[in-house]
Amino acid sequence: MYFCCMIQGETITISKKEYTEMKSELSDLKFRLSELNRLIFGAKSERFVTVDSHQINLFEVPAEEKSEKQTEKITYTRNKKEDKKQPLRMELPAHLPRKVEVIEPENLPENAKKIGEAITEVLEYEPANIFVRHIVRPKYIISSSDEKTEIVIAPLPSLPIAKGNAGASLIAHIIINKFVDHLPFYRQIQIFKRQNVNLAESTINGWFNAGCKHLELLYEALKQKILSTDYLMADETPISVLTKDKPGSTHKGYHWVYYDPVNKLALFDYCKTRGREGPDEMLKTFAGYLQTDGYVAYTKLENHQNIILLACLAHARRKFEHAINNDYDRATHALKLIQSLYAIEQKARGNELDYDQIKELRQKKSVPVLQELEQWLIQENIKILPQSAIGKAFSYTLNLWDRLKRYTEDGRFQIDNNLIENSIRPVALGRKNYLFAGSHDAAQQAAMMYSFLSCCKINNIEPFNWLKNTLTIIQDYPANKIIELLPK
């Protein structure tokens, strides 16, 4: 079969195969253009709201009403609006210290009697208080009966930097500012300068390196703890790194993230590439279930015989959400079914079900929905262009289908990888502020800090207090018990 088309006034005959390829390419280009417009101008939210066909559209007038406009008189009664009440102020936290300020009336006569008092509380702020810890250790001389003398002095408390002048609280403050509040060192230096404390960037870098040195053993304990489980999530995110090999530009390295959703622990590991070398080395002794996106490197791990892969339904859902403009009916149908699967998960969380109850609920409710979705995908797949946006969504989902539905086999498993993506978010925020790591070693130090601070966030632990206390005691802590210091 051949088709005739006119291009710039000239009639050209093409085969059906060429026509199909051109149509597919056009669909792909339209999708790429819509994605670019969405990236620049559109909303980032992937929220999908189902539309009830019986619900009236507020901004659309039915055709029959457009042609004829009729009027009618409507009378009704309504309740009278109540007078607005004075808005209540937010109650200030009880744990904050109170500085009492008493204001007496002026020209108060001596015979005045106090009958009560009006109390007003206002939240105030003072800049961070930097102080010098002045440690004094008195020396004593002790004379014995045999005319021997001995000088006695208390031992110096352990400090993060031997013979240094930075305490655990200051080092913790600098680290939290950078990796939680995303303040590069040079900005922190400017803040210190406003408080008449002049610090060189090399000094702060030295303090940071010393803090990292103390935490290396704890990082190894975290790695062993995470790899001892049998269910992990994995993902990767880029980070720019300055290297001597590429003067004037940056190297694109990667933070590989491993998350244990049962024990609520996260581990970041820096690698120079996105190749499988990173997870190969990290997971060489791992045995169990690994939940990932569709990146092909996870399927080619050397230890693949001991690893069972799960996929992320949120990634599949995203493909259909992006294909709405390409094929509204099919994309919407898939999104509705996926939405019902998430509603089941929400019910399980709301009822606080245990793992066995979650598995039972999924087998009863989720499995039939997944079977319906699978049959529909197979039936419709032959009717769509493979290179179109909807075609790519179908292909992605069907290729990973066995891994996508595996979450119903165990109540511990998650329906998607969103938990690990939440752990990665601070890295994305950080690289927008400090832009790059100064070296490969610095990128690995950042991975170590993100590991600890992500664990703090997951377990609702205040990061500054944890880091300050850990840096204070870790030097004297028994090596065989150091795992006790993890933020749990």
- What is the pLDDT at residue 35? 66
Rg of the chain, C-alpha, whole Å: 32
In whole angstroms, give the CA distance from residue 41 to residue 35.
Answer: 10
In angstroms, the CA 265 to CA 419 distance is 11
Position 275 scores a pLDDT of 87
Amino acid making up residue 288: G
Rounded CA gap, 334 and 15, in Å? 33
Query: 185-194 vs 201-227: helix axis angle to the nearest 10?
Result: 130
State the amino acid at position 148 in one-letter form.
K
CB-based contacts of 246, cutoff 8 Å, min separation 6: none
DSSP, res 437: B
Return the domain boundaries, the chain: 313-416
Which of 29, 31, 26 shows the shortest CA–CA distance to 326?
Answer: 31
Structure confidence at residue 93 (pLDDT)? 83
The predicted pLDDT at position 65 comes to 47
Could you tell me if 401 and 374 are in contact, meaning their C-beta atoms sit under 8 angstroms apart?
yes
User: What is the rounded distance in angstroms from the CA atom of residue 297 to the CA atom of residue 300?
Assistant: 5
Rounded CA separation 424/446 (Å)? 12
Residue 186 near residue 201 (C-beta atoms within 8 A): yes
Question: What residue ranges of the chain have pLDDT lower than 50?
Answer: 53, 56, 58-59, 61-67
Q: In 3-state terms, what secondary structure has residue 449?
A: helix
Residue 6, pLDDT score: 61
**Strands 250-260, 231-242: parallel, antiparallel or unpaired by DSSP?**
antiparallel
